[in-house]
Amino acid sequence: MTHSLPDSATKAPLLGVDLGGTKLEVAALAPDDGRFLLRERVATPQGGYDDVLAAISDLVARAETTLGVRGLPIGVGIPGCLSPASGVVKGANTTLFNGRPLDRDLAQVLHRPVRVENDANCLAVSEAVDGAGSGARLVFAAILGTGVGAGIAIDGQAWVGAHAIAGEWGHNPAPRLPEDRNMPLPRCWCGRGMCNETMLSGPGFAADHLRHGGADLDARAVVAAARAGDTAAQASLARYVDRLAGALAQVINLLDPDVIVLGGGLSNIAELFDAVPPKWPRHVFSDVVTTPLRPALHGDSSGVRGAAWLWRAQTH
């Protein structure tokens, strides 16, 4: 398989795929400055695993026709990860992929090298390379959305870990607050009790509001109510800030990141970035805490950008 680009292979576009439970996106980045050369997003087929492989194959073929190249290696971001022990996907909330050797299956269908990486690791890589953590050596990036995931990038590369679970902070125990006393505390779907995901995801935030006597609203509506002066919603947002601050303080004590980046739908809550860091000194074992907390610069494009950057080292 050869490139048909007139330039050397070092100038070849970087091709990434973000494979989510509901959306499937392909993008090509210019290797020198990271600008989008193309991007296309479709709904993830809901029929079965082979349909997903075929949809990725179609997207990649169309992208390469547009770019005038063939056989580019691709990076793929997925929920979950490839288990180093078994070589198959584990931990994906889109259970269709679990138990499948996705990297090998895609390499066979696409006839090219494929790298598969956890989607939160892709966020961390994207933001470390040219996003909110650009220039930082260690970036911790968390996705606060329908679930909670997180990833670590060191020098712009995903830190995967011995079990490919590095950064899986979503399933650490959530900090307990005085307000939780005498409350029926939720258990996480993973079976480990009250995980960060249980409290810091959008559904978790909404459930906490309801549990403390608030109205049955989704997370976005709770935030809107807080901004409009609703005291119950303001209290819920304050609890969310306290929980997030405590949970991130544990990360600072463990990794001491240069930058913490938040992505996912709840990273649109602008108040978090001013309210959370002042709460860290109480929890962090340091005389000063200056860790920047920033929203993802590339927003929901960071998944596909990080997937494309997975081949960066080979093309520079």
Tell me which residues touch Zn ion (CB under 5 A): 171, 188, 190, 192, 195
Residue 221 beta carbon to Zn ion: minimum distance, rounded to whole angstroms? 25
Which residue, 195 or 276, is less far from Zn ion as judged by CB? 195
Contact at 8 Å (CB) between 226 and 107?
Answer: no
Residue 99 beta carbon to Zn ion: minimum distance, rounded to whole angstroms? 20
Closest-CA residue to 13 (of 44, 36, 42): 36
Which residue, 244 or 304, is less far from Zn ion as judged by CB? 244
- As a whole number of Å, the CA-based R_g of the chain is 20
Residue 199 beta carbon to Zn ion: minimum distance, rounded to whole angstroms? 10
Give ∠ CA 52-302-196 in degrees, rounded to 5. Answer: 90
Burial of 7 (0-12, 13-18, 19+ CB in 10 A): exposed
Which residue, 15 or 188, is less far from Zn ion as judged by CB? 188
Sign of the CA dihedral 136, 137, 138, 139? positive
Which residue, 196 or 236, is less far from Zn ion as judged by CB? 196
Residue 247 beta carbon to Zn ion: minimum distance, rounded to whole angstroms? 13
Which residue, 166 or 188, is less far from Zn ion as judged by CB? 188
Contact at 8 Å (CB) between 160 and 121?
Answer: yes
Which residue, 11 or 192, is less far from Zn ion as judged by CB? 192
Contact at 8 Å (CB) between 48 and 59?
Answer: no
Which residue, 1 or 185, is less far from Zn ion as judged by CB? 185
Alpha helix stretches (DSSP H) within 256-311: 271-275, 302-309
Measured distance CA(189)–CA(286) in Å, rounded: 34
Residue 150 beta carbon to Zn ion: minimum distance, rounded to whole angstroms? 13
Closest-CA residue to 242 (of 214, 222, 271): 271
DSSP state of 164: S
Residue 147 beta carbon to Zn ion: minimum distance, rounded to whole angstroms? 9
**Tokens 């995801």, residue located:** 201
Residue 170 beta carbon to Zn ion: minimum distance, rounded to whole angstroms? 7
**Tokens 């600008």, residue located:** 35
